[in-house]
Every structure is written in C-alpha cells, then in structure tokens.
Structure 1
Amino acid sequence: MRRGEADTPFPSVAVAGPVTRVRLADGEHAWLATRYDDVRTVLGDPTFSAAGDPMHRATPGADAPFIGRLPHTDPPEHSRYRRPLGRAFTPRRVAAWRPAIARAVDDHLDAMAAAGPPVDLIESLAVPVPLSVVGALMDLPRHDWPSLRDAATTLLSDAPDREKAGATNAWLLEYLHALVAKRRAEPGSDLLSELIEHSDLGDMEVADLGATLVLGGFDSLAASIGTGVALILCHPDRPRALAGENERLDPLVEETLRFTTIVQRGVDRTAVTDCRLGDAEIRAGDRVVADLPAANRDRDRWPEADTYDPTRPARTNVAFGHGPHLCVGVHLARLELRIVLDRVLTRFPGLKLAVPADRLVLCRDRTFAGLRELPVTW
C-alpha cells in the first residue's frame, strides 16, 4: 500500500493529461486542464477571464449584490481591489502577526490538554484558530464569530439552499457594510480601517472585500489545518521528527498543501479570444476549468506524486492558485499552518487518531474540502 492512497482520506486524483473536452455536472461543456503547466497558463494568462465564473451566475438572489469582486474580476478592475489588500498582506506585515497567531494556537492547545482526550481536533483547533485570527485582524466582535462561521458554511457549499444562501449573502454584506461605515467614522487599527484609509474603494466595495476575507481566510485555513494534521497522523513514521526544526518545516508545509489541495472545485475561466492550450484549440467564449488537485499531482513535476513525502524538496505548487488571482493571504495561510503543525507536534508528541483512518470523511461538496471531524487522542 502506497502512502497517500488507501490508508488516508486523501485518495489519488485524476492523472494529469492533455486538455480535454468534458461535460460537467451542471450540463455545460468545458475544457478541462489538469497538467501543471496548462493549469498555470489558464490561471495566469489574460486570455482566460475570471469575470464569467458560473458560480456567480448561479448565485441566489441575482438582483442583490454578490460577494466576489476580488476573485471574479479581471485587471484593471481586479487590481483596484487587490492593491490595498496587497499592502496589508506583505511578508513583513504578516510576520509581525506571528506572536498573536502563536498565542491563539497555544490557548486552544491548552484547552485541549485541560479537556483531556479524546477530542475533535476540527472543533478544538482547526476551526477556532483561523476564526480568531480573522476576527482579530478585522476587529470583528467576538459574539458575532459563530454567525460568521455559519455564513461561511452556507455560502461555501457546492449545493446550497438557494433561499437560505441568498439571505445569508445579503446578511453578510449588510453586516460588513455597517462595520465599514462605523470604521470610516471612527477609524481603528484593523484591516477594514486600513482598506478605507489607503484606497478609493466605496463602503460596499470594502464590505465585499471584508466578506471575501471572512469566507476564504477562515474556511480555507480551517480545512488546511484539519487535513494537514490528519495527514501527519496517518503517516506517524514520517513528520514527527520535524517539529521545531525550522529549515525542515517549510517542506512539510508545502507537501501538505500540495498533497491535500483543499480547493476541490475546478477554477473556472472563460476564453476571451481564440487560442491554443496544449494541443486543444479553444474558441472565444469557451469555458475552461483548471483542476488544481490534479495539477498538484502531476507526475511530470513531482516523482511519485501520489505519495506523501514531507521531506520532498519544496517546489512551487498551485494550492493557492497562480497569476493575478493568487490568494492574497498566501503568506498568512502558510504562517498559520506552519505554526499549528509545529506546535501540535511539539505539544502532543503522542497525538494519534482516535478512530481508524478509513472512518475519516473528507467533505468534497464544499469549495474548500475539509474533514467533517478529526477525533484524536494522546
């Protein structure tokens, strides 16, 4: 049995191959890109537009504003939204948050230790850590955090209840819009205040960016933390010795991101002109879907790509996307995951699964595929 296949909840993905014409679950036809180089082309070349993503064509409440100006616009409009965020998420700025993130992680690990085993690590660590980081970054009232989590759960489902999702979409935008109006009148040191001060964005545009950060910055990290720890526990012979060794933690983090690739839903683009992608002749208006998990298992780039190897030399992957829409919080995400994995391995060297690995369920019906629960003991 090869590591990374039947002994974990992370099965092999489709083998990367030529760009292929496929029929999708929604009945539409599209070109599917699975090879690493083809996926990077789709995500990075202006020939392929992000503005026509069908996810938003199907957004409930079509007459209401939808969340997504940042991921679903093209330059130069996209640049206008991204530029003030880029200023806030530079590597230097993110590095300054390390002590606060470490405290948040340690607080939840303390609570785990006090509660005693077994615990569900998703509810004890994977969810509350990124939620507290996003909440502190944007100075969101703590009593609202559960509602924000519920909103993310609803809006990031692949098949949401349309009426509920429409109401949730409207509530989240109205909630952030009210906070933005308050921060414009009384600026603070939080991210919303910074976006107001250092951009020409209107209140609803800042609210939209804030909602995007709540959805992506919380839910994606919760999924990454849960799957990252689970991957280590399914392979107890490999990464335990890496705790505390800074130069060896980076390959562990990158291999975790590559191997799990939590963005399971294909990334949609629309060709704006006739073009060639690999051997395929793409016509203007054609829908093209980039498969990130397949690209991150491309055997031409990673030998034994279906094997989890935390000592594998780190190479650039597309777990966070590529090109103009590369995740703006990539440095923060890597830092959070690095701190969590290091501290979990150090604090609980005897941590192990409390159930057989084949009992773990990977929820693939969401934008970010995370584990439903992760029972652990020590």
Structure 2
Amino acid sequence: MSEAISYEDAWARIDKFDPPALFDELRKERPLARMIYPDGHVGWIATSHELARQVLGDPRFSHSLEIGHFPVTKYGGPVPQFPAMPGMFIHMDPPDQTRFRKLLTKEFTVRGVSRLTPVVEAVAAEQIAEMRAQGDTGDFLEVFARPLVLKVLAPLIGLDYGERHRFADAPAVMNDPFGDPQAAMAVFQQVGEFVHETIARKKATPGDDIVSRLIATGELSDEELGNITTLLLFAGYETTEGALATGTFALLHHTDQLAALRGDLSKIDDAVEEILRYVTVNQYETFRTALEDVELGGEFVTKGETVTVSLPAANRDPAKFGCPADLDLDRDTAGHVAFGYGVHQCVGQNLARLVLRTGFRSLLEAFPDLRLAVPADEIPLRTKGSVFSVKSLPVSW
C-alpha cells in the first residue's frame, strides 16, 4: 500500500456508523499516507490517534487559509489563498487566533454553561410536549434535534429564533457537497445581512447574550463581530444537531446499550462521550498546512503540504480504544478527539455536551418505547460534507 490514496476513497463508509475500511488498513501499515486531492495536489492523511493529536497540537502546522493550501472545496475545485477574514479565528494561527478565542472562552466554561441547564431542560420539555401533541411518529430531526439545538443556541448568541427563516438553513446549504456554489454564496450573504442587523439592534438595546457582551468589550469592529457571530452559528448548530440525531440513531440501533442506559441514567455523561467518539460527526475537513519541513510518523512532510486529519479514524484507533468499532457506553473514552485537539479544539464543546446530555436523558425518561419507525438500513445518511449525520430519522414513541 505504498501508492497514494484518492480523496474520494476517504469518503467510502462501509456501514451506518463506521469510517471507511481503508482507514484500518492505513493505520496498520502507514498511518500517515499520501493522498491525492481532486485538484491534483498530493498531500497526506493521518489516521492514527497519536498522529492526529501530534498534528493538531504542533505549531509547525497552520490552519490559516491565508498562508496555507486547502486543495479542494466541497464542490471539487481548488480554494485559492485569500486574506484572513477579520474575526474568523477558526482559520487563524496564534497570536491572532488567541486574541479572538480568549473573548469567547469565558462564555463556554463548565461553570458558565452549567447555568444554562434549566434553559436547555425547559426547551427539551417543550419539544417533548410538541412530540406528544403531534401523535406517536415523526422525523426526529424535525421534531426534536433541530429545534432543541436552535432554540438554545440562537438566543445564547443573540439571534432571534423568530427570524430563523433567515439563518436556520444556511449551514446545510453551505456544507452541501452537491449544492450550487452560487446558492451557497447567496445564503452566506443573507446570513451576513441578518447578523449585521442584529449587531445594530444589540448596540441600541443590549441583551443577555454573547453578541451584546462582545459589543460591550469595545475590542471588536463590526466586521469582526459579524464573522464571530456567523462562526458561532455555523460551527455550533449543524454539528450538535448531527451528534444528537446520529447519536440517537446509534442508541436505537444498539438496543443492548440503549437498555443499559435506560437502566442507569447516572451513566449519561459517560454515554455522551462514547457516542461522541463512536459517531464523530466532524468527519473530514480537519486539515493543516506544514509551515516548515516536518518529520512525522516516519515520513517527511514538506513545507506547504496539506495534512488532513481524520477524526473518525483517530477515534477508531485500537491502539487507543479497545474494540473501537463497538458502541460501549462503559468504555473509558478519555482522550477522544471528537472536538478536535490543540488550540483549535471546539470552544463550545461544554455547551454541546449539555445539549446532548439533556436531550438524551429527556427522551429516555419521556418515551420508554422510543424506537426506529423504519428498518435501520433505510435511514438515509449524509456521508459527504463536513458533518456526518442522518438526513432524516423516522421514530415512533
């Protein structure tokens, strides 16, 4: 297996929840392997847990699109280098990245997020009541996962949930690998207009939300505020929804694990971590560019080459997790990389955990007979794009 693999090979999932079988072969023989991207660029893909953490934690690898080279878009074309977007710190390196991230870190501490518990519980209860009111069958995405996440996230950021028609569909359109690039640009501009209207309103009438508090610091321009707000929406919405929906599918499919959790809900925190590891919805757009020549995993990465890190592959590494293809809610999941690793590790991970923990617990307590409404093999999956998820999840209760 000395030849370079194709970018397309890394999308070839073999089962409902499993990453491509190729990753198991690569991890054994060459955990850092050559990979050819659609535009012809030859870079690398890292599939082991050790190498994933090494790349993501090494300052010699950059996540900046300004100096780096991400060789393919969702639509198959190359991404040109372009100046950093002010405030879009996910594609910055320290110290610029540190400046913006520091403003948000205090918003998402364990203590700070814990204060939101009553809010999340109330929203979950509201959605359960709506489920009961509509009957005994529905699409889990529409009746629970999506509204729960958006009803929590939007007001926390400072966005009006009542105007969700202006922003709720944007992440899905932006991340659709088969979509129209012009449509994606149009929806991005639409969200930008809404966000800047929101910023203007918050300047006039501040609220108890992240946008208002960022404005109050006096440290950010309107452009920086707008890009940070958009980033929080795009990074937090679709990923948490995907983890909640796909995690629920995994529980309903693995009935032994579901029964064990129902029998002891005190294990909910451990269950959330295992579900995060098992489904790893952030599937394929974790990449870095070498700022200098780097020896890595017995290979020589040249300055300017792209290294893609497969988080799903890293979280299925048997050297770190025994029998990694099994969903095991009693597993020790310490060190999983579902939220990434290093300076770009997800800033909102504590909020995501709260939403998942509350969502799963509320469902299991409210619906002792929650089950799939169709055979598991008929659940449509979204296997391409930045977030692995179900397209719909018909359930009965």
2-structure distance, mates of 1:119, 1:64: 45
Task: Give the whole-Å Cα distance in 2 for the aligned partners of 1:188 and 1:267.
Answer: 34
Q: Distance in 2 between matches of 1:172 and 1:61?
A: 23
Q: Structure 2 counterpart of 1:166, which letter?
A: M
Q: Which residue of 2 aligns with 1:251?
A: 270
Residue correspondence of structure 1 range 265-284 to structure 2 within 5 A: 265-284=284-303
CA contact (8 A) 2:61 2:288 kept: yes
Give the alignment's Cα RMSD to 1 decimal.
2.4
How has the CA–CA distance of structure 1 residues 63 and 179 changed in structure 2, closer, same or farther, with 3 Å as cutoff? farther
**Per-residue deviation, 1:27:** 2.9
Equivalent residues of 2:316, 2:324 under 8 A apart: yes
Aligned ranges for residues 72-87 of structure 1 at < 5 Å?
72-87=91-106
In structure 2, distance between residues paired with 1:50 and 1:209: 17
Distance 1:148 1:244 in 2: 39
| Structure 2 unmatched runs, 5+ | 1-12
Matches of 1:219 and 1:136, distance apart in 2:
16
Q: Distance in 2 between matches of 1:126 and 1:169?
A: 23
Q: Residues of 2 paired with 1:152 and 1:131: CA distance? A: 12
Q: How does 1:213-292 map to 2 (within 5 A)?
A: 213-243=232-262, 245=264, 247-292=266-311
How far off its partner does 1:375 sit?
0.6
What residue is the counterpart of 1:323 in the other structure?
A: 342
After TM superposition, the runs of 4+ consecutive aligned structure 1 residues lying more than 3 A away are: 55-68, 243-247
Q: CA 1:68/1:120 → structure 2, altered by over 3 Å: closer, same or farther? A: farther
CA–CA distance in structure 2, aligned partners of residues 334 and 199 of structure 1? 30
Tell me by how many angstroms 1:345 deviates. Answer: 1.1
**Matched residues in 1 for 2:210 and 2:129: separation?**
28
| Map of 1:372 onto structure 2 | 391
Give % identity.
33
Q: Which residue of 1 aligns with 2:121?
A: 102
Q: Alignment length, in residue pairs?
A: 373
Give yes or no for contact 2:257–2:327 (8 Å, CA) kept in 1.
no
In the TM superposition, 1:165-180 aligns within 5 A as 165-180=184-199
Alignment of 1:289-304 (within 5 A): 289-304=308-323
Paired residues of 1:239 and 1:252 also in contact (CA < 8 A)? no
Describe the shift of the 1:103–1:71 C-alpha distance in structure 2 as closer, same or farther (beyond 3 A).
Answer: same
In structure 1, C-alpha distance between the alignment counterparts of 2:50 and 2:83, rounded to whole Å? 37
For 1:136, the equivalent position in structure 2 comes to: 155
SS of structure 1 residue aligned to 2:395: strand
Q: Kindly tell me: are residues 195 and 136 of structure 1, through their superposed partners in 2, closer, same or farther at Cα, counting changes over 3 Å? A: same
Q: 1:126 to 1:61 in 2, by over 3 A?
A: farther
Q: Equivalent residue for 1:35? A: 48
Instruction: String of CA shifts for 1:242-272, please: whole Å, max 9, x gaps.
Output: 2484641122111100010001223111000
Change (3 A) 1:210 1:365: same
Structure 1 gap ranges (5+) = none
Instruction: Give the partner amino acid of 1:29.
Output: V
C-alpha distance in 2 between matches for 1:269 and 1:206: 25
Residue 300 of structure 1 and its aligned partner are, at CA, apart by 0.5
Q: How big is each residue's C-alpha offset from its partner over 1:20-59, in whole Å with a ceiling of 9 and x where there is no partner? A: 1111234321111110010111111111000036267969
Per-residue CA deviation, residues 265-296 of structure 1 (Å, 9 max, x unaligned), is 23111000111111110111111110110000
Partner residue, 2:18: 11
Partners of 1:251 and 1:317 in 2: CA distance: 12
What does 1:117-128 align with in structure 2 at a 5 Å threshold? 117-128=136-147
Q: Which amino acid aligns with 1:313?
A: D
Counterpart-to-counterpart distance in 1, 2:86 and 2:126: 32
Whether the 8 Å contact between 1:269 and 1:287 is mirrored in structure 2 is yes
Moved more, 109-118 or 152-161: 152-161
Q: Select the structure with the greater relative contact order (CA < 8 A; seq sep ≥ 6).
A: 1
Distance 1:64-1:158 versus aligned 2 partners, 3 A rule = farther
Q: Decide whether the 8 Å contact of 1:250 with 1:314 is kept in 2.
A: no
C-alpha distance in 2, partners of 1:128/1:65?
Answer: 32
Report the CA distance between 1:147 and its aligned residue: 2.6
TM-score (norm 1): 0.92
Q: Tell me, yes or no, if the aligned pair for 2:55 and 2:288 is still in contact at 8 Å.
A: yes
What is the identity, as a one-letter code, of the residue corresponding to 2:316? R
2:112 corresponds to which residue? 93
CA offset digits 1:331-371 (Å, max 9, x no partner): 00011101111111111111111100000122022211110
SS of 1:270 mapped into structure 2:
strand
Matched, 1:313 2:332: yes
